[in-house]
Amino acid sequence: MIIRKAVPSDLNTILSLAPQAIYDGTLGEVMPSEEKARSMSKALLEKGGFYLLAVEQDEILGWVLVGATKDSFTEQALGFIYELYIRKPYRGQGHSKPLMKAAIEYFQQQGYTEVRLSARVDNQAISLYEDLGFTTKNVSMSLNLE
């Protein structure tokens, strides 16, 4: 497996899987239309975000979508991991950790002092994030009024 930055020819494959990536990332709560998922991804790409891919024999196994943001209180520039996605046939084979490490290394090389991400509370990837040194900084709570 190699990890590389996505090139324009990779985007059709990635964007065609974007609704599934969002669905899986929200633990089945949200299934956006392909148009909505493409629009969300393209907005991040236009702001300088990019995909790091795990690739084996020209097959995309998964990716991490990285970009920059600012802390809403301090305006400090932060690295942000917007999405980690491994395609279903390749899950459980150890591809997530190298992708995350590559993203963290990128942010370190760019001089960021902090990297953040968001995850649903029941997301199995939380243990991976904790193994990599991420800690809980904020808690987002929800009250369903239906």
Whether residue 11 is contained in a domain is answered as yes
**How far is residue 1's CA from residue 96's CA, in Å, rounded to a whole number?**
12
Query: Could you tell me the CATH number of the domain that includes residue 15?
Result: 3.40.630.30
Q: How far is CA 31 from the centre of its chain?
A: 16
pLDDT tens profile 101-110: 999 999 999 9
Q: How far is CA 18 from the centre of its chain?
A: 11
User: How many CB atoms are located within 10 Å of the residue 21 CB?
Assistant: 22
The per-residue pLDDT for range 4-53, each reduced to its tens digit, is 999 999 998 998 888 888 878 777 777 888 888 888 889 999 999 999 99
Residue 145: φ, ψ to 5° = -100, 15
Q: Is residue 139 part of a domain?
A: no
Domain residues for the domain of 37 are 2-131
User: For the chain, where are the E strands, in sequence order?
Assistant: 2-5, 50-56, 59-70, 77-86, 115-117
Give the length of the chain.
146
User: Global pTM?
Assistant: 0.89
* pLDDT (tens digit per residue) in 62-86: 999 999 999 989 999 999 999 999 9
In degrees and rounded to multiples of 5, residue 51 shows phi and psi of -100, 135
Number of structural domains in the chain: 1
> What is the CB-side half-sphere exposure of residue 57 using CA atoms within 13 A?
0
